[in-house]
Amino acid sequence: MTHPLFEKHRAKLEAALGAIHTRGYWAAYNEMPSPKTYGESAPDDGKRAFQAHLGQAFEIDQPGSTGWHGGEQSPYGIDLNVRYPVCDVQALIDAGQSAMPGWQAVGCEGRTGICIEILDRLNQQSFELAHAVMMTTGQGWMMAFQAGAPHAQDRGLEAVTYAYREQSFVPPEATWEKPQGKNPPLVMKKHFELVGRGVAVVVGCGTFPTWNTYPGLFAALATGNAVIVKPHENAILPAAITVRTIRAVLAENGIDSNLVTLCVPALRETTQALVTHLAVKSIDFTGGNVFGQWLIDHCRQAQVYAELAGVNNIVIDSTDAYQPMLRNLAFTLSLYSGQMCTTSQALFLPAGGIDTEEGHKSYDAVCADLATAVDGLLAKPEVALAVLGAVQSAETMARITLAESGALGRLLLASRKIDNPEFPKARVRTPVLLACDAADEAAYMQERFGPITFVVKVADTAAAIALSERVIATHGALTAGIYSTRPEVIEAMTSATWRSKVALSINLTDGVFVNQSAAFSDYHGSGGNPAANASYSDSAFVANRFRVIQRRHHV
Q: Are 432 and 404 in contact (CB under 8 A)?
A: yes
What's the min distance (Å) between Cβ of 187 and a copy of itself? 9
**Residue 426 contacts by C-beta under 8 Å, 6 or more apart in sequence?**
75, 76, 77, 138, 390, 420
Distance from the first to the final alpha carbon of the chain: 24
Residue 378 interacting with a copy of itself (CB under 8 A): no
Residue 298 interacting with a copy of itself (CB under 8 A): no
Measure the CA–CA gap between 373 and 386, rounded to whole angstroms. Answer: 17
Residue 512 interacting with a copy of itself (CB under 8 A): yes
Q: At residue 32, what is the residue type?
A: M
Residue 72 interacting with a copy of itself (CB under 8 A): no
Q: What is the footprint of a copy of itself within residues 187-206 (CB under 8 A)?
A: 188, 190, 192-193, 195, 197
Of 268 and 499, the one with the shorter C-beta distance to a copy of itself is: 499
Residue 544 interacting with a copy of itself (CB under 8 A): yes
What's the min distance (Å) between Cβ of 297 and a copy of itself? 8
Of 131 and 197, the one with the shorter C-beta distance to a copy of itself is: 197
- CA nearest neighbour of 132 among 123, 142, 145: 145
- List helix spans (H) across 73-189: 89-105, 107-124, 126-137, 141-148, 150-168
b/e map of 346-367 (b: 16 or more CB within 10 Å)? bbbbbeebbbbeeeebebeebb
Q: At residue 223, what is the residue type?
A: T
Of 141 and 192, the one with the shorter C-beta distance to a copy of itself is: 192
Of 401 and 474, the one with the shorter C-beta distance to a copy of itself is: 474
Residue 523 interacting with a copy of itself (CB under 8 A): yes
Which of residues 104, 125, 282, 515 is near a copy of itself by CB under 8 A? 104
Q: Are 416 and 430 in contact (CB under 8 A)?
A: yes
For 18, the 3-state DSSP assignment is helix
Q: What is the footprint of a copy of itself within residues 164-183 (CB under 8 A)?
A: 165-166, 169-171, 174-178, 180
Of 168 and 253, the one with the shorter C-beta distance to a copy of itself is: 168
β-pair partners for 554:
188
- The stretch near a copy of itself (CB under 8 A) out of 54-62, 148-156, 310-318, 532-540 is 532-540
Of 177 and 358, the one with the shorter C-beta distance to a copy of itself is: 177
Measure the CA–CA gap between 119 and 124, rounded to whole angstroms. Answer: 9
Which of residues 1, 11, 269, 300 is near a copy of itself by CB under 8 A? 300
Residue 528 interacting with a copy of itself (CB under 8 A): yes
Measure the CA–CA gap between 279 and 498, rounded to whole angstroms. Answer: 37
Concatenate the DSSP letters of all residues of 160-227 into one string. Answer: HHHHHHHHHTS-SEEEEEEEETTEEEEEEEEEEEEEE-SEEEEE--SS-TTTTTHHHHHHHHHTT-EE
Residue 548 interacting with a copy of itself (CB under 8 A): yes
- Considering just the CA atoms, what is the radius of gyration of the chain in Å? 25
Which of residues 90, 276, 485, 521 is near a copy of itself by CB under 8 A? 521
Residue 535 interacting with a copy of itself (CB under 8 A): yes
Residue 310 interacting with a copy of itself (CB under 8 A): no
Measure the CA–CA gap between 30 and 463, rounded to whole angstroms. Answer: 43
Which H or E element spans position 488? helix 487-500
Q: What is the footprint of a copy of itself within residues 2-31 (CB under 8 A)?
A: 20-25
Of 458 and 504, the one with the shorter C-beta distance to a copy of itself is: 504
Of 476 and 528, the one with the shorter C-beta distance to a copy of itself is: 528
Residue 36 interacting with a copy of itself (CB under 8 A): no
546 backbone dihedrals φ, ψ, rounded to 5°: -135, 165
Residue 538 interacting with a copy of itself (CB under 8 A): yes
- The stretch near a copy of itself (CB under 8 A) out of 393-401, 412-420, 455-463, 496-504 is 496-504
Residue 485 interacting with a copy of itself (CB under 8 A): no
Which of residues 296, 368, 386, 463 is near a copy of itself by CB under 8 A? 296
Concatenate the DSSP letters of all residues of 449-461 into one string. Answer: -SSEEEEEEESSH
User: How many residues sit in the footprint of a copy of itself (CB under 8 A)?
Assistant: 66
Of 436 and 471, the one with the shorter C-beta distance to a copy of itself is: 471
Q: What is the footprint of a copy of itself within residues 129-168 (CB under 8 A)?
A: 165-166
- The stretch near a copy of itself (CB under 8 A) out of 357-365, 369-377, 391-399, 499-507 is 499-507
SS3 content of the chain, % helix, strand, coil (to 5): 45, 20, 35
Measure the CA–CA gap between 415 and 452, rounded to whole angstroms. Answer: 9
What's the min distance (Å) between Cβ of 389 and a copy of itself? 23
418 backbone dihedrals φ, ψ, rounded to 5°: -120, 135
Of 81 and 474, the one with the shorter C-beta distance to a copy of itself is: 474
Residue 552 interacting with a copy of itself (CB under 8 A): yes
Which of residues 62, 286, 343, 505 is near a copy of itself by CB under 8 A? 505
Measure the CA–CA gap between 310 and 343, rounded to whole angstroms. Answer: 10
Measure the CA–CA gap between 452 and 107, rounded to whole angstroms. Answer: 48
For 525: left if phi > 0, alpha if psi spans -120 to 50, otherwise beta; the answer is left
What's the min distance (Å) between Cβ of 255 and a copy of itself? 17
Rule CB under 8 A: which residues touch a copy of itself? 20-25, 101, 104, 165-166, 169-171, 174-178, 180, 186, 188, 190, 192-193, 195, 197, 296-297, 300, 494-495, 497-498, 501-512, 518, 521-523, 526-528, 535, 538-540, 543-544, 547-554
